[in-house]
Copies of this chain bind each other. A is one copy, B any other.
Amino acid sequence: MIIPPLPTPFDQNGNLDAEAFRDLAQAIEPHVDGLLFYGSNGEGVHLTREERAAGLAIQTPRKPAMVGLMEETLAQAAIALSESESLGARVLVTPPRYYEANLGHDGLLRYFGGIADMGKAEVWLYHVPANTKAQLPLPVVAELAKHPNIGGLKDSSGELARMAFYASQKLALELYTGHAPTFLGALGLGAKGGILAVSNLAPKPYKQMLALWQAGKVAEAQALQAEVEPFGRVLAQGGFVLLKQALRHLGLPGGYPRPPYPNESPVWPTFKPLLEEFRARGWTVG
């Protein structure tokens, strides 16, 4: 499966544009295998509680939905969990961050285990250190994988030694990578698919790479991996600011970042020709 972590559109005044959010989701959904709201590129942490709920209430996904949950304590997590309940979505949960040094392994187990015990949604572990700057130690993952309500893991670190560990431990978790530049390497080490920012713009070559890999056409998958590597690498440099700019360029309702984030990315001049080339090949959504 290839799933996009959708960006959350704001208008030029910094207000949540819920209708654009729904339109964007509907525009991308036919090209992908599911939708992730408020993931690493989703600016969920830029929203008030009411805005987060409003952004989900308007959605009408037909394919499996996921919601990122980036809270600091169990009390806050319980509230966030109730927001996504009506969607029947899985939740991707990141570790607490602020007082990480005072949490310890036991605290991490209490946090993820506590949310899973609430039973409101299937829990996936979500390791995205570039944004959270928090660690999710491997022994903690191994322990949490035993919980019946923890079903998967999205690892966006690009540290494929982590993926290799998950596979060798035969953890009862569905494994997804969030790091496009190493996508084929992650498949080789046991990932089942990708939850990839690039798939907001151009899911096609990643779906194709996954299909080639699954069909045992390794050399063709490798050729495609080499072709798309710059696209994923450069998009990661520009982050959600670049992603929204690229969506607007394709005519999609990606909207704008919430201030003080800028509307335009310094990486755009490098990314634009890659995007144009992908569009010329029929790989983009727009």
Contact = CB atoms under 8 A, between A and B. Distances in A.
Interface in A188-213: 188-190
B48 A76 contact: yes
A161 B158 contact: yes
Interface of A: 14, 43, 45-46, 48-49, 72-76, 79, 96-99, 101-104, 106-108, 110-111, 114, 130-133, 158-161, 163-165, 167-168, 170, 179, 181-182, 184-190, 216, 218, 222, 225-227, 229-230, 233, 238-242, 257-262, 265-266
A160 to B, nearest CB: 5
Contact of A72 (B46, B97, B102, B103): B46
Given A14-B73, A96-B260, A104-B266, 19 more contacts: A14-B74, A45-B98, A46-B73, A48-B76, A49-B49, A74-B258, A75-B259, A98-B132, A101-B239, A158-B159, A160-B185, A165-B181, A165-B233, A168-B227, A170-B226, A185-B186, A187-B188, A188-B188, A216-B216
A101 B130 contact: yes
Contacts of A108: 260
Given A99-B239, A161-B179, A189-B184, A225 B167 contact: yes
A63 B227 CA distance: 35
Contacts of A185: 160, 163-164, 182, 185-186, 188-189
A239 B102 contact: yes
13 contacts: A46-B73, A46-B75, A48-B76, A73-B260, A97-B133, A102-B239, A107-B260, A164-B182, A165-B233, A185-B186, A185-B188, A185-B189, A188-B189
Given A107-B261, A111-B260, A260-B107, A229 B75 contact: no
B258 A188 contact: no
A186 B168 CA distance: 16
Interface centre among A114, A182, A187, A259 (most CB of B within 10 A): A182
Contacts of A242: 102
Contacts of A48: 49, 75-76, 79
